[in-house]
Amino acid sequence: MSSQRTPSAAADAASTRRATRTAALRALAVVALVVALDQLSKHLLESSLRSGEESKLIPGVALVNTRNRGIAFGVQPGSGLLVSVVIVLALLALLVYFLRNATRPLIWLPTGLLFGGAIGNVIDRVREGAVTDFIKLPLGWPPFNLADASITVGVILLVALVGRDDATRRRARTQTARSGDGRAGAEHSGESRLRG
């Protein structure tokens, strides 16, 4: 048997590489946009509010200038080393998932949002040892920033996309099984008629 690919297999592989490259470029564009907006918003906040200061933005929403040494939304897991390890492991897992599923429709969007949010907060950690949070909602919700919001939206989109794709695959398998059962039944009934 020859190890050479058939023309259609080569075309499929080229198409997959092209789709992966396009998805990666789109994800990188989202990363760049999220990081730029996150860092710009933090810079504008820090230049207009002193540390610990608060200013009402709209009813129920305030701007604050606060620092967070935890992961997100004030979650404090402990040491900075633990936070860094958790972030690196999560990003590696996401990268592997993305590379294996880059041809899935829209998978680049949550991937870009998640990486962009993580990078935005990592820049703060490297520069200041803590993340700048500035959006304060009512009911005691911990202050957060655009990077945190990007991560949250990214997780929601990723779960929705994976759930949608899994549901689509289950439906396709069910339809294939039903059509296979129908063909088997028709073949059985044809054989019975031939015997009779």
Within the chain, residue ranges assigned H as helices are 7-48, 80-101, 108-128, 146-195
Contacts for 22-26: CB closer than 8 Å, 24+ residues apart = 23/98, 23/102, 23/103, 23/107, 23/108, 24/102, 24/108, 26/108, 26/109, 26/112
Catalytically annotated residue among 133, 165, 166, 181: 133
Burial class (CB in 10 A: 0-12, 13-18, 19+), 69: middle
Catalytically annotated residue among 38, 124, 148, 181: 148
133 is catalytic: yes
What is d(CA 73, CA 91) in angstroms, rounded to the nearest whole number? 18
What is d(CA 56, CA 149) in angstroms, rounded to the nearest whole number? 19
124 is catalytic: no
Within a 10 A sphere around the Cβ of 129, how many other Cβ atoms? 10
Tokens found for residue 19: 């789709």
